[in-house]
Structures are given as structure tokens and as C-alpha cells.
Amino acid sequence: MKALREPSLARRVVLALLAAFALVWLVLLARDYAEFKLQTGSREPIRGALRALAAALDFGDANRAVTVMQATEIQYNQLRRNSGISNLEDLLFRLERPDGAPIYASTALGNAIEQPMAADPQTVLVGTRRYWKVAHDTAHWRLTLLEPAVADATALQWLGRGLVQPMLIAFPLVLLPLWIAVRRGLRPLRDLAARVAARQADDFSPLGIELRHAELKPLAEAFDALLARSRDSIARERAFVQDAAHELRTPLAVIAAQAHALSAATSDEDRAPAREALERAIARASHLTHQLLTLARLEGGQAPDRAAVNLVEVAQRMLIDAEPAARARDIELTLESPDRLDAALDTAAVHSILENLIGNAINYGAAGGHVAVRLSTSDGALSIEVADDGPGIPENQRAHMFERFRRGNHDTVGGTGLGLAIVRQAAARLGGRVDCADGIDGHGIGFHVRLPIDGDAGTPARSGRNRKPDALD
């Protein structure tokens, strides 16, 4: 029973074929019924039979005429009985002289009076039975033929039954090749399912199956593409775990060493350097963990949680938070932007972009230098530009700076090597991208992030060029 309730393509094909045959039956029935109504309206079949009878009575002998009438009545009614149509009643005949003198009448007709119906004068009542009446006059005779009137429901029943037999014969003849075609067409899908079921859980290699049918090729290609993405994703995750373990090993080793030194120290003078080194190692491990969690969240594949954001206000807050670190290196922070820049953005992703770009510019820029942040809109996109005037990044290294744990040649500056990877992933999460750009006055390095605008981007007011964030004045 469960198998019958489950959706099945083969069963749907059979049901569709049944529906098609039913529709064809209805169309043929409607056609035959229209022809039936046309024939009964014109009375052409019985008019033709009456004309043929009149031609056979081309004489004036009454006895011969009665004999012909009797033979014709027997012949016609026998043909009707052998037609295979159930409940088909006999025709009635009447033969009269032109002056109305009766010569012959069917037994069932006798001396009954024909009562014309007001709605159709050619339809008469004989007793309680309706008949279609046709009359024909010759030089010797007046012939009348009465055919039992057939109700519409009866006619539809006869016509419908007449179509059932050929439809029943045609159905299996059509179904068999169609069923074979469906079964053969579904065989590649069954082979595909068998191959997938037989694979190991960690096997993401291509299926290696070639589907000949044009409708099935996209399925195999899409499945192989999914496997390829899964292979790449798992490879990245494994590399990420290995790199993260490698990077965490150093601060954890320092923590262990300094904790041991701290426990072994016997004086405050011995404890102080060990405590400071332990705090630095803990801070580095904490920062690395924060960066790893941020990158994992951005790579989680979830849709961005967009909300109305004033990008200028967000940038000002980020610069205010970065002011202590910039002051420690005597770096000037400036913001060039409109007064407002409203857009629908994922706030956490925007924070990650600004935090890492500004933090990198401060950490790797020149002491006593300048870090400039510029916000703008152009061509339907938001632009976030962060530039410094520090030593910069060589051209041959820029293509790799967005890889995880890539630090460049700044050995004197500590860092996780995840900042720019986080920026790239956050920009991609928002449907944008990040590129390297020139630094300030030909020095240093800049980064340009372009994000599509979802919602109203706001209208820039006065330029506010090269101004510090308000809270920094």
C-alpha cells in the first residue's frame, strides 16, 4: 500500500494516457452526436430509404404494392435488429392512394391516428410513442415512413458504447510501447541511484556516468558539480583546521611555557616578565580564536541578515574604536564621506570589513603616517576605500594577500593572517568584492570594497572631505 501511495512517474504516465483516451472518447462522442443531430434534423437517411421504396413502387397494382411493402418492412426492420444496437424499435410503413385511400399499414400502426407535435410538425405521436415522420408522393401512391424518435440520452448511450470497443483495443497498443519507453528512459536514473548508493561516505569523486538522454544530462552534470563543490569545501575545511591548529600551537606553547615559568618563579621580579608574556600569548590566542570564529561564520553559507544601516555612522564608530591604537603609533585617521549613506546591509559583515581594513592599515602602516577611509556610491554600488601610506605590499604578493594565514613580509608586526580573508568573505557574503588599490600619494596600499545597494542608498550631502570623525575632534 505504501508503494501505491508514493509518487511514481510510470503511474503518472499511465494516468495521463488514460486521461488522454478519455478526452479523445469525449471529443469523438461529441462529433458523432453532432452528426446524429444533423441527420435526425434533416431526416436524410429515412428520406433516402423512402425514395428507394418509391422507385420500387413505380406501378399502380395494389396487390403487388402490398407485397413489396411487406417485404421491405421485413428487410429494413431485420437490418435494424441485426445492427447490434439494443432496444432499437421497428420502422412503421403506410401506403395510401393519392386520394387517401389506405392500401397498407404496419401491424403496429393499424388505424392509429397520427397526432403532429406542435414543437415539430415532422414528429408525430402514435399512441404514446413519438415518431419521426417522412412522406413521399408519387403518381400512384402516397408513402409514409415512421421512425421511432430517439431521445438524446439514448443516442449518447448508443454512440458512447460504439466507441468503447475501439478505444479498449487501441489503449494497450498505445500503452505498451509507451510503457517500454518510460521504463527504458528511467533505467539511467536507476543506475545513477545505484551508483550513488554504492559509494563510500567520503567518496566525492565524479560519478563517471554518461547519460545519453538530453533531459538527463543536466542532472549528471549538476551532481558532478555538487560533488566538485563538496570536494573543494572539504579540502578548504581540512586546510583551515590544519592551519588553525598550526597557528594556535605557537600561542598555546608560549602560554604553557610562561605558565610554567610563572609557577617556578620565586620573586616578583621573576614573575613580572613571565606574566607579561603570558598575557600577550593569551591575547594573541584570543584574537586568533575570534578571527577564526568570524571567518567560520562568514563561510557558513547562511543568507545575510540585512537591516537598514547608516554606513557613515558605522565607519565613524569603527574609527573611534581604533583611535587608541592609531594614537599609540601617531597615525592620523580621516574619513571622507557624505553626511549619511543609508543601505540595507548585514551589520556584522560591514563591521568585519571596516574593522580588519582599518586595523591592518594601523598595524602595517608607517608610524606617524596617515590612514584614510572613504565612503561613496557610484554605478549603483557602495564603495568602501581604506588606504595608508606605509610600506605597502609588493605587486607580486597582492594576488595572494586574501588567502588565509597570509601575512606578507612584515615580520615585526604580529597578526593572524586572517584579516584580509575575512574582508574578502564578508564582501562576498554581501554580494560584493574587494580589490587592492593604490595607497596615499603613491605610498602604501589601499583596498577597495564594492557592495551592491539593496534599498535606498541615501543622497550625499556636503562632501566633508578629509575630516576626522566627530568624536575625535
Better pLDDT: 39 or 49: 49
- For residue 136 the three cell numbers come to 413521399
Comparing 44-58, 79-93, 279-293, 349-363, which segment has the lowest mean pLDDT?
279-293
CA distance 259 to 278: 7
Report which of 400, 437, 448, 445 is spatially closest to residue 421, judged by C-alpha positions: 400
Q: What pLDDT does residue 472 have?
A: 45
Q: What pLDDT does residue 72 have?
A: 92
Tens of pLDDT, residues 120-145: 667 888 888 888 889 999 999 999 99
Question: Parallel, antiparallel, or unpaired: how do β-strands 370-378 and 332-336 relate?
Answer: parallel
Q: Is the pLDDT of residue 20 over 50?
A: yes
Q: Is the pLDDT of residue 149 over 50?
A: yes
Q: Is the pLDDT of residue 457 over 50?
A: no
Tens of pLDDT, residues 347-384: 888 888 898 899 889 988 889 999 999 999 888 889 99
Q: Is the pLDDT of residue 455 over 60?
A: no
**Secondary-structure percent of the chain, ordered helix, strand, coil, rounded to 5:** 55, 20, 30
Q: Which of 60-74, 174-188, 254-268 has the highest mean pLDDT?
A: 60-74
Comparing 212-226, 249-263, 359-373, 395-409, which segment has the lowest mean pLDDT?
395-409
Comparing 218-232, 275-289, 400-414, which segment has the lowest mean pLDDT?
400-414
Q: What pLDDT does residue 291 have?
A: 66
Q: Is the pLDDT of residue 304 over 80?
A: no
Percent of the residues in the chain that have a pLDDT greater than 70, as a whole number: 85
| DSSP characters over 267-287 | SHHHHHHHHHHHHHHHHHHHH
Return mean pLDDT, the chain: 81
Tens of pLDDT, residues 63-121: 999 999 999 999 999 988 888 777 788 899 989 999 889 899 988 887 666 776 656 66
Q: 0.75 exceeded by the pTM?
A: no
Q: What pLDDT does residue 120 have?
A: 66
Q: What pLDDT does residue 438 have?
A: 86
Q: Is the pLDDT of residue 293 over 90?
A: no
CA distance 137 to 146: 15
- For residue 320 the three cell numbers come to 573611534
Superfamily name with CATH number, domain 307-472:
Histidine kinase-like ATPase, C-terminal domain (3.30.565.10)
Average pLDDT over residues 316-325: 91
Angle between helices 62-81 and 44-56 (to 10 degrees): 140
Tens of pLDDT, residues 217-226: 788 788 888 8
Hey, which CATH number is domain 217-298, 1.10.238, 1.10.287, 3.30.70, 3.90.1280? 1.10.287
